[in-house]
Chain A
Amino acid sequence: MTASLLMLQLLNGLQLGILLFLVAAGLTLVFGVMDFINLAHGAQYMLGAYLAASIGGALGSFWLGLLAALPLSLAFGLALEWLVFRHLYARDHLAQVLATFGVILVIDEGVRQLWGSAPLNVPQPEGFSGGITLMAGLTYPSFRLAIIVAGLAVAALMWLVVERSRLGMLIRAGASNAPMVRALGVDTGRLFLGVIGVGAMLAGFAGAMAGPVFAVVPGMGDQVLILAFVVIVIGGIGSIRGAFIAALAVGLVESLGRAMMPELMRLFLDAAPARQAGAAVASMLVYAVMAAVLAWRPAGLFPAARA
């Protein structure tokens, strides 16, 4: 493998990691602040992709679609909070998992009824149709660079708000001791509603950004959901920093594992079985990494301090 190809694969891994971070950020925020597992986060990601693709398609502009998808995702998230989530905050994780799984079923089926089963066309983002040449004969689409920039921006913004602002202080305080914060005269209900809203918008944003690169199909959220959970668990639940680092790590492991494993397997096997075994090992590599991390640090890399 040449050095330029290796560099390219590192970049691909980084970019996949950043996309995973976009999905995982909302999940870990809600989970960390409110101790609430929202399985429906993946379905909200899917809904964001569908909304952006169909509105963007109707208006003939990807960016308008993205702009429209954000408030709609927010509204949908708030509606879910009002209908379902708020009845579950006081319950254990299992109850939350079960109820939000019910929400997934409804969203999946609803999307199928509304948009049909066929993969959706996504308009190409205007202004990002071209790309840069990183290797002879290969264009690196500039929209992928846009995803990297957007992911870094979201990460920086979240870090600033949560770690450095008064609002972030309240959020962190509300997470560790809600009754005390309430006693100090802060409306924790509104605070939590805000967190859920931001989480929903992040999910929708990630879905909308993923649309032009990946396929917009029914069930696209489930697969991402699992990877996002892997990310937040490796990072330590509730830790934005942990989620960011873990997302990059998972992206790199996914990407490099797929590239290297078949070659690695050739040391032990013939070419044909090596390729297949390599692919099989590559697909379970992230899970092996997660198991190893948890065996070593049972609460993830950066366990958030909790009361």
Chain B
Amino acid sequence: MTRLLRPSLLLPLLALAALAAAPFLGFGDRFALTLLSRAMILGMAAVSLSLLVGGAGLASLGHAAMMGIGAYVVAALDLAGITEGAIAFPAAILAAAAFAGITGLVALRTSGVYFIMITLAFGQMLFFTLSALSALGGDDGYTLYGRNTFLGADILTPRLSFHFICLGLLAASWGLCAMLSRSRFGRVLRAARETPLRVEALGFSPFPYRLLAYVIAGGIAGLAGALLANAMEFVSPAVASWPRSAELLFMVVLGGVAQLPGALVGALAFVLLEEGLAHVMSAWKLVFGPLLVLAVIFLPGGLTGGLPWRRRKQERRADA
């Protein structure tokens, strides 16, 4: 129980609880739910990216490509007349994981900034491919006339039901990533990031571990993409554009790289702040930009890492 009270865990748990309660606290109208589901879906992708960035030190600038694949698998199946989610969702996850596996084989040979750029390159290639898919509307995008059903049941369409499905999948993704990063697998990843020489001297090759992490993160992002396609009832190459990848990265950094659930907090903060500011003023970027800069300079550990009590605890740990 004391584990649950750890601040880095407390904040995201509060966030999840708030998301669960939101529809009953006056945020149950369609707009609020649209916004929240968007934040949750992006949060899912951000959590999976956090597994890469925080866990393995792999800052990918092509994570939106995995979302794009997930979304386009849903669209392509819709075009073929298949609207069964029990087919579409696993297919989206597998396709995104496969894309991650193939590109990861090449990308993981590099590191640091080179990794950022090579993942960007793969993302851009996918983006231009999607833009050229005339059958799915090219860059005009493809409208889904209805959401996926599950075993014939229309559970994604009712707003409240969709809200809780997003929430459940978000919590599950977080749980999976948290379990992985706590396991031996996660320890190898972290060790390979922090002391690569020592790990190799011990006879570990970090490559297969990194590849597996990359594939899992890709699969989760693919699931997020499939959900996004259902939420928007529309897909377009913009899902896979590089600014979206950058946004995901920012959510992770904003929330705090060191803690996995930081990504969730970062995603919520990012989406709600952006829409809130844009609603108040048209030149919202003039406020949002400096806020980003200030957050980076004054909250080096992100939103979850920058809490004063957390910092004290880290210092104590360092002393010990």
Contacts and interface: CB of A to CB of B under 8 A. Distances in A.
Interface string B283-302: 10110111111001100100
A295 B109 contact: yes
Contact of A105 (B117, B249, B292): B292
**Most chain A CB within a 10 A radius of its CB, from B59, B290, B292:** B292
B130 to A, nearest CB: 10
A103 interface: yes
A102 interface: yes
**Most chain A CB within a 10 A radius of its CB, from B109, B113, B128, B297:** B113
Given A93-B112, A95-B300, A287-B124, A105 B288 contact: yes
Interface string A213-252: 0000000000000100110010001000000000000000
27 contacts: A84-B293, A84-B297, A93-B116, A94-B249, A94-B253, A95-B253, A97-B116, A97-B249, A98-B249, A99-B297, A102-B289, A102-B291, A105-B286, A226-B242, A229-B117, A229-B120, A230-B117, A284-B129, A288-B121, A290-B118, A291-B118, A294-B106, A294-B107, A298-B109, A298-B110, A298-B111, A300-B114
Contact of A290 (B112, B121, B132, B253): B121
How many A residues are at the interface, by size bracket? 35 or more
Interface of B is mostly: helix
Nearest to B123: A287
Interface of B: 53, 59, 106-107, 109-114, 116-118, 120-122, 124-125, 128-129, 131-132, 134, 242, 246, 249-250, 253-254, 257, 283, 285-286, 288-293, 296-297, 300
Interface in A148-179: none
B109 A294 contact: yes
A298 B114 contact: yes
A106 B110 contact: no
Contacts of A109: 283, 285-286, 289
B286 to A, nearest CB: 5
A283 interface: yes
Interface in A270-304: 276-277, 279-280, 283-284, 287-288, 290-291, 294-295, 298-300
B143 to A, nearest CB: 22
B113 A294 contact: no
A287 B125 contact: yes
Contact of A291 (B111, B121, B293): B121
A88 interface: yes
B282 to A, nearest CB: 9
Contacts of A52: none
A87 B290 CA distance: 14
A230 B292 contact: no
Given A84-B293, A105-B289, 15 more contacts: A95-B300, A97-B249, A98-B292, A99-B292, A101-B246, A105-B285, A106-B285, A109-B286, A226-B242, A276-B132, A280-B129, A290-B118, A291-B118, A291-B122, A291-B125
A299 B296 contact: no
B256 to A, nearest CB: 11
Contacts of B120: 226, 229, 287
Interface of A is mostly: helix
Contacts of B300: 91, 95
A38 to B, nearest CB: 12
B311 to A, nearest CB: 16
**Most chain A CB within a 10 A radius of its CB, from B53, B114, B250, B286:** B114
A88 B129 contact: no
Interface in A96-144: 97-99, 101-106, 108-110, 112-113
A76 to B, nearest CB: 15
A280 B293 contact: no
A283 B117 CA distance: 17
Contacts of A29: none
A99 to B, nearest CB: 4
Nearest to A288: B125
A-B pairs, top 6 by smallest CB distance, nearest first, are A102-B292, A105-B289, A280-B132, A106-B289, A287-B121, A109-B285
A78 interface: no
A37 interface: yes
A226 B286 CA distance: 23
A290 B116 CA distance: 12
B117 A294 contact: yes
Contact of B132 (A88, A112, A277): A277
Given A295-B109, A298-B109, A98 B124 contact: no
A277 B59 CA distance: 31
